[in-house]
């Protein structure tokens, strides 16, 4: 009933996997990569098995010894980046024989000696193309950056300092590359583990899934699903009673998914049932704001984000406790913070905010907590011509405001919106529509970060969000966003400056900035670090 009403949708893997021979209901996995030839290629084999079943994989390569380091037989180590190419090649090969594209998240910690090679590994278009990459940053690293201090690069094999560099210089290289290509993102490792209930019993989490919304232990998967907030507004107010009921049922639905799912590796089955991690998320946030006539980039919207996500998480926690009373706690509950607090839980974590690419298209709403990308845009997922979408809430508001026999005017405005994506510079549109119907590039990056942080405050796992920048944004703008995200407690950050890749999934026909861009100098990055 929830699915038919488009109130809740499980992740796309449920639709691909349920009732099939593979029967896998999870998209997200993390695999360990050990510092040995056997360990590395065992992980490549596991990756192939997961990709063949339709899953994506995340890794932290920081345990691998650096390039040029000694190995047992007297040779020299290849280093993490070269081995990433083996995982990338596997992904391309398996992808050709499957029905769902494989994808990976690669993380290398900021203190690894090969960090410069890592952050530049995607500079060439098409190189390591099946990876998102992120730098694993501790509070110590970010404090060294903001304090303009030195930073040690350490060999993970023996703990010895290989080189001491200026933290800010290293950070600046990350920022300029993100400006140029969108990579690397950042994973804030201490924020990741701050509320981890298994930190003392199982150790820290070091990696995430492909889009960063689920921090996972080795072999751990996550079952995801999202509530479509656009369906919970009526008469200019939120239907809290129905939202509570759907949040409760979604928790039970996904917990059942842990048992219903089949996995390609025994280790994954064990990890799935040991922690029973699930992720009830949301989508359609932008449409909820449209219906409530609340501007996305406003204190009112940030306050409402905390209220809505706080309500959902409280409901999901209560349901997890209720299921624990019926079916028992998750096996790793013993020794966890929950046991110390006397809280019985069925699941180690229950809320996540995923990017909801496929299911937001199925339910015809905006992705996750993103603002609407454009009021009318082309999505390049089917063929070269793409599919054109116009936001129905905007079209309805425009039609009602410009009624009075002016249907021709509505059509004229819509044609202009298709060209520009935004309504901000179009004449004859009421001021209140311009105020409410904001799109991704109308919004200052700081507001994107503030919104992510507001939702993260009430999300057990993590939040997947893209911080959008217009084409003429500077590297300094991206630097400010990275530092703000860390300070506000985000677990990671992904940025994208419009047109920084040759091919991008979402695009408008018009520019993403009113500022002149002709003749703007391209930032060149000096891709090397010198020791202090």
For residue 211, indicate whether it is catalytic: yes
**Quick one: DSSP state of residue 152?**
E
Ramachandran region, residue 9 (left: φ > 0; alpha: ψ -120 to 50; beta: rest): beta
> What CA–CA distance (Å, rounded) separates 432 from 430?
6
Tokens representing 28 are 């997200």
CB 74 within 8 A of CB 123: no
> What CA–CA distance (Å, rounded) separates 140 from 383?
46
> What CA–CA distance (Å, rounded) separates 206 from 354?
19
- Rg (C-alpha) for the chain, rounded Å, is 23
> What CA–CA distance (Å, rounded) separates 458 from 489?
11
CB 33 within 8 A of CB 62: no
The residue annotated as part of the active site, out of 7, 90, 213, 319, is 213
Whose structure tokens read 């140029």? Answer: 180
Long-range contacts, 513-517 (Cβ 8 Å, 24+): 513/441, 513/470, 513/471, 513/472, 513/473, 514/425, 515/470, 515/472, 516/472, 517/471, 517/472
> What CA–CA distance (Å, rounded) separates 66 from 373?
40
Tokens representing 37 are 């030839």
Tokens representing 135 are 């730098």
Closest CA to 13 of 246, 330, 368, 357: 357
For residue 213, indicate whether it is catalytic: yes
By CB neighbour count within 10 A (0-12 exposed, 13-18 middle, 19+ buried), where does 471 fall? middle
Q: How far is CA 316 from CA 231, 354, 438, 463, in A?
A: 19, 16, 31, 17
The residue annotated as part of the active site, out of 13, 28, 121, 211, is 211
User: Beta strands of 482-531 (E only): which ranges?
Assistant: 492-497, 506-507
Q: How far is CA 343 from CA 224, 306, 322, 325, 336, in A?
A: 23, 23, 11, 11, 10
The residue annotated as part of the active site, out of 27, 60, 130, 209, is 209
By CB neighbour count within 10 A (0-12 exposed, 13-18 middle, 19+ buried), where does 83 fall? buried
> How many residues are listed for the chain in this entry?
532
User: Beta strands of 414-491 (E only): which ranges?
Assistant: 466-469
Active site residues: 209, 211, 213
């Amino acid at each position: 009933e929830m699915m038919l009403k488009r109130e809740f949708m499980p992740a796309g893997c449920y639709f691909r996997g349920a009732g099939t021979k593979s029967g896998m209901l999870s998209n997200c996995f993390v695999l360990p990569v050990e510092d040995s030839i056997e360990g590395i290629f065992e992980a490549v084999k596991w990756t192939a098995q997961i990709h063949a079943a339709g899953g994506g994989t995340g890794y932290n390569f920081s345990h691998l010894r650096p390039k040029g380091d000694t190995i047992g037989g007297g040779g020299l180590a290849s280093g993490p980046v070269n081995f990433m190419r083996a995982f990338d090649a596997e992904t391309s090969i398996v992808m050709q024989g499957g029905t769902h594209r494989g994808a990976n998240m690669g993380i290398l910690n900021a203190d690894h000696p090969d960090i410069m090679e890592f952050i530049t590994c995607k500079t060439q278009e098409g190189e390591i193309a099946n990876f998102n990459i992120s730098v694993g940053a501790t509070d110590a690293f970010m404090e060294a950056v903001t304090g303009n201090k030195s930073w040690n690069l350490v060999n993970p094999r023996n703990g010895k300092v290989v080189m001491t560099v200026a933290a800010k210089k290293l950070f600046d290289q990350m920022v300029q590359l993100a400006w140029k290509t969108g990579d690397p993102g950042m994973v804030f490792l201490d924020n990741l583990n701050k509320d981890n209930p298994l930190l003392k019993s199982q150790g820290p989490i070091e990696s995430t899934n492909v889009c960063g919304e689920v921090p996972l232990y080795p072999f751990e998967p996550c079952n995801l699903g999202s509530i479509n907030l656009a369906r919970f507004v009526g008469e200019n107010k939120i239907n809290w009673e129905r939202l509570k009921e759907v949040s409760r049922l979604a928790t039970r639905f996904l917990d059942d998914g842990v048992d219903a799912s089949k996995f390609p590796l025994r280790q994954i089955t064990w990890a799935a049932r040991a922690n029973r991690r699930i992720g009830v998320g949301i989508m359609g946030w932008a449409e909820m704001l449209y219906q409530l006539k609340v501007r996305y980039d406003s204190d009112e919207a940030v306050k409402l984000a905390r209220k809505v996500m706080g309500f959902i998480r409280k409901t999901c926690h209560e349901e997890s406790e209720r299921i624990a009373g019926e079916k028992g706690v998750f096996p790793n509950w013993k020794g966890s913070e929950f046991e110390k607090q006397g809280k019985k839980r069925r699941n180690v974590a229950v809320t996540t905010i995923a990017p909801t690419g496929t299911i937001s298209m199925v339910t015809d709403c905006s992705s996750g907590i993103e603002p609407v990308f454009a009021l009318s845009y082309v999505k390049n997922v089917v063929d070269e011509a793409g599919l054109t979408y116009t936001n129905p809430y905007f079209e309805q508001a425009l039609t009602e405001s410009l009624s009075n026999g002016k249907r021709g005017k509505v059509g004229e405005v819509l044609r202009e919106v298709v060209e520009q994506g935004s309504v901000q510079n179009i004449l004859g549109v009421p001021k209140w529509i311009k105020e409410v119907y904001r799109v991704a590039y109308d919004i200052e990056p700081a507001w994107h970060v503030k919104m992510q942080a507001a939702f993260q405050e009430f999300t057990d796992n993590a939040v997947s969000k893209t911080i959008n920048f217009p084409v003429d944004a500077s590297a300094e703008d991206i630097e400010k966003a990275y530092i703000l995200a860390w300070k506000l407690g985000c677990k990671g950050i992904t940025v994208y400056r419009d047109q920084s890749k040759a091919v991008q999934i979402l695009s408008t026909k018009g520019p993403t900035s009113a500022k002149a861009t002709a003749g703007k100098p391209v930032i060149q990055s000096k891709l090397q670090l010198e020791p202090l």
